[in-house]
Amino acid sequence: MFYIIGPRGAGKTTIGKKFAESKGYQFVDTDKLILEKAGKSIAEIVEQHGWDYFRQLETDVLKSITQSDMIVSTGGGLVLAEENQQIMRNNGTVIYLNTNPEVLAKRLAAEPQADQRPSLTGKSLVEEIEEVMQQREPIYRATAHHIIDAAQPVDDIITQLNDLT
């Protein structure tokens, strides 16, 4: 099993789908599983129940993924829970898609999904990304078995991932 971690806009879903295709594995996105399970958008879940409730849903969904031939794209904040870090490290290979805040902001601005994920800080996109990354970067690095530069072309990233296995 491979877990793909990183911030919003890093390319976890895009890379995850192509990587799964290249390996003949199944692809699953934890955010999509949460949407299906809750029957609501992430924004609605957070608005109605709060971030702690949403984070617990992330852990529940992560625990429910048990097939070994899976590529799992995780929500950007899933790594915040130590339990989730341990689940991923103990059950598979963790890939961190790393890139700078400017690239992330550009990607997110190109494909806004405001209904999917509410702002964490209420600040501008670049400011929020910088602040969130300052907090999460050390966690992403500590959790990952491999760090991949997500600013590269998708095909180059897939080649690197396939070289790992």
Binding site listing for Mg(2+): 13
Type of residue numbered 142: A
- The annotation places the binding site for ATP at 9-14, 117, 152
Distance between CA atoms of residues 137 and 33, nearest Å: 25
- The annotation places the binding site at 9-14, 31, 55, 76, 117, 136, 152
- Maximum CA extent, the chain: 44
- The annotation places the binding site for substrate at 31, 55, 76, 136
Handedness of CA 120, 124, 125, 127 (dihedral sign): negative
Distance between CA atoms of residues 67 and 107, nearest Å: 31
Token pair recorded at residue 79: 């790594």
Token pair recorded at residue 154: 């998708």
Residue that the structure tokens 């971030």 belong to: 51
Between the alpha carbon of residue 154 and those of residues 16, 70, 73, 101, the distances in Å are: 10, 19, 15, 18
